[in-house]
Amino acid sequence: MSRKVLLIEDEPNITEAIRFLLTREGWQVETHAEGTDAVQVVLSARPDLVILDVMLPGKSGMDVLRELREHDEMQGLPVLMLTARGQSRDREMAEQAGVSRFMTKPFSNTEVLTAVRDLHAQASRP
């Protein structure tokens, strides 16, 4: 079973921490730091899971998520959204856009691993 994550995050420290954590767990991790062409990157990379930051240069993670969900083949793609602002309004907007799970920064390694494992397991069920 494939275990490929696309991490769309523009903060190098967070990118490196998540990449290290998931690589150690056996995941293949690709990264991208720009919102503008993020949808095209997801469509061509075909990941099993996307970790998406809300605030990105060029285009917000919310807009990226909405555009992704407009593609039929991306309807079931698990998306874990990260944000520095955990207000309920942000969470509601993410849920309306089709997010699979929402996580507020700062987060623990355990939180990230648990979320990624859960989302992958749910997506892998027939």
Looking at residue 1, its pLDDT comes to 55
Parent domain of 76: 4-124
Whole-number mean pLDDT of the chain? 94
Looking at residue 57, its pLDDT comes to 97
Percent of the chain with pLDDT over 70: 99
Percent of the chain with pLDDT over 90: 88
pLDDT for residue 17 is more than 60:
yes
> What dihedral do alpha carbons 123, 47, 74, 14 form, nearest 10°?
90
Mean pLDDT within 10-36 = 97
Kindly report the CATH number assigned to the domain that includes residue 110.
Answer: 3.40.50.2300
**pTM for the complete prediction?**
0.95
d(CA 98, CA 57): 21
d(CA 39, CA 54): 14
Looking at residue 16, its pLDDT comes to 97
The number of domains in the chain is 1
Which pLDDT tens digit goes with each residue over 72-124? 999 999 999 999 877 888 889 999 999 999 999 999 999 999 999 999 999 98
